Amino acid sequence: MTEDLQLAVDLSRRAGELTLSFFRSKTLRVYAKRDDSPVTEADRKAEELIRAGIEREFPDDGIFGEEFGDKVGTTGRRWILDPIDGTRSFIHGVPLYGVLIGLETDHEMQLGVVNIPALGELYHAQIGRGAFLNDEPVRVSGITDHRNATVVFTEKEYLLDAPSDHPVDRLREDAGLVRGWGDCYGHMLVASGRAEVAVDKIMSPWDCAAIIPIVSEAGGCCFDYNGQTTIYGQGLVSANHHLGRELLDHIA
C-alpha cells in the first residue's frame, strides 16, 4: 500500500470512529446549510480530523471538502473529502453512511477510500492496483441480463420522475430488483458484486471522488447521465462491466 493510500485508510478509520461516537446519539446537534441540506457536528469534526492529518503529512497539497471548502495547493494534487456521505441516514440512525476520501492528481482520480464504520466495511483502491474490502480483493458481478440485475438508488426522484427514455431510467421498470440502498453504500454494493447498478441523479464532486477508483478497479465502470466518467457531471451511475458498457452504448 502506498504512502498516500495508507494515509487515506488511516484517516478514514479515525474519522469513522469519531462518527460512531455521535451515531444514534440523542443529543446529536443538526444544523441546516444554506441549501437546506443537513449537517451535523459529527460531519464537521470528522472533516477537521481528516484535513489536519493531510495538512500534517502533505502541507502543499490541495484539499476540497464538503463542509469547509477548497484549500488551493501547489503540487497538482487535491484530496477530496466527504466526512459523512449519507448524512440523513446518519441522523436517522441508519448504518449505511460512509467516510469518503479521494485523491486527484492533475484532474485524474488516483485513489479512493470508503469506510462504512457502522458496518465494519472499509473499501479502498488505487488505480492499477485493484479494489479491496477489508483488505480482501473485490470484483463486480458477472450478470449480463438486466432482468436479473439488482439496481439501487438514492434519490426518490429516480422512481417518481416522469417516464423517461434514458437507458438508466428504463432500468427502474426492467430490472429484476430495484431497491433504495443508496449513497456510497449502493455503489460499494456494485463494487463488491452484490448489486449490478447504482444510480444517483444528483451528485457533487466529493460524493463521487472516492467511488470512481473503487468501482473501476473492481472491474466496473462509472459515468454520469451523459456517459462521461467525471466527478463534475450530472449524477453518477456505477455498473458492472457488461451492463455498464451496454448502458453507455445506449447513451451514446
Q: What is the pLDDT of residues 6-39, one digit of tens each?
A: 999 999 999 999 999 999 998 999 988 877 789 9
Q: What are the start-end ranges of the H helices in 70-166?
A: 87-91, 157-160
The helix (run of H) or strand (run of E) holding residue 171 is: helix 167-174
Do residues 216 and 202 make contact, with C-beta atoms less than 8 angstroms apart? no
Grid coordinates representing 141 are 458481478
The pLDDT, as a whole number, for residue 35 is 78
Nearest CA to 153 among 213, 80, 203, 214?
203
Query: Where in the chain is CATH 3.40.190.80?
Result: 146-251
The pLDDT, as a whole number, for residue 205 is 96
Spatial separation of the C-alpha atoms in residues 84 and 236, rounded to whole Å:
18
> Which overall architecture, per CATH, does domain 3-137 show?
2-Layer Sandwich (3.30)
Spatial separation of the C-alpha atoms in residues 128 and 157, rounded to whole Å:
35
The pLDDT, as a whole number, for residue 1 is 87
Query: Where in the chain is CATH 3.30.540.10?
Result: 3-137
Spatial separation of the C-alpha atoms in residues 154 and 205, rounded to whole Å:
16
Q: For 59-77, what is each residue's pLDDT tens digit? A: 999 999 999 979 999 999 9
Q: What are the start-end ranges of the H helices in the chain?
A: 3-22, 41-57, 87-91, 157-160, 167-174, 183-191, 205-208, 211-217, 241-251
Q: How many residues does the chain have?
A: 252
Model's pTM, two decimal places? 0.96
| Residue 124, SS3 per DSSP | strand
Do residues 207 and 81 make contact, with C-beta atoms less than 8 angstroms apart? no
- Give me the CATH topology for the region 146-251: D-Maltodextrin-Binding Protein; domain 2 (3.40.190)
Extract the residue ranges of the chain whose pLDDT is less than 70: none
The pLDDT, as a whole number, for residue 173 is 94
